[in-house]
Amino acid sequence: MDRIELFADGACLGNPGPGGWAYLLRKGAKEKLDGGKVRYTTNNCMELAAVIKGLQFLKSPRVVHVVTDSRYVVDGMTSWLANWKAKGRLDKSGSKPIKNVELWQKLDELCQKHDVTWEWTKGHAGHPENERVDQEASKQALAAKALRKGADQ
């Protein structure tokens, strides 16, 4: 299987507020940068969306190394997910679904297709690819803020 690097970030102007997501896929010297916007969302939703959109772009199974500055995403996938699944994706109280359950389910489904590893990097600390996706996600969030009509992308 081909090895792919996926750098992902989300941004939100206010939380909740207008948001943007971005990913950078890299295979050798080839790169693909993409992003999108949502008129009203949360930062955590955008962090999840960035990884989901990047994995969705891959049409066949791959070995994927995900790098993100979101502890929420990394901890969710490497630590919390197994417990959530065992509890029927309910929160600690066992009485209501975890936040962003649909996004977590989609991400979990995509990770079953690919061989995914996770790496957290500190945001705004000079990591070149993290800076690139942060800039794109922020640009998308600003574009979402400017939206007056139309569908989210």
Q: Which residues are catalytic?
A: 9-10, 47, 69, 124, 134
Please give the single-letter amino acid code of residue 5.
E
Q: Is residue 123 a contact partner of residue 69, using CB atoms and an 8 Å limit?
A: yes
Map 5-45 to HEC letters.
EEEEEEEECCCCEEEEEEEEEEECCEEEEEEEEEEEECHHH
Residue found by looking up tokens 């066992």 in the block: 94
**C-alpha to C-alpha distance for 49 and 35, rounded to whole angstroms:** 10
Report the residue count for the chain.
153
> What's the Rg (C-alpha) of the chain?
15
Helices H / strands E in the chain, number of each: 5, 5
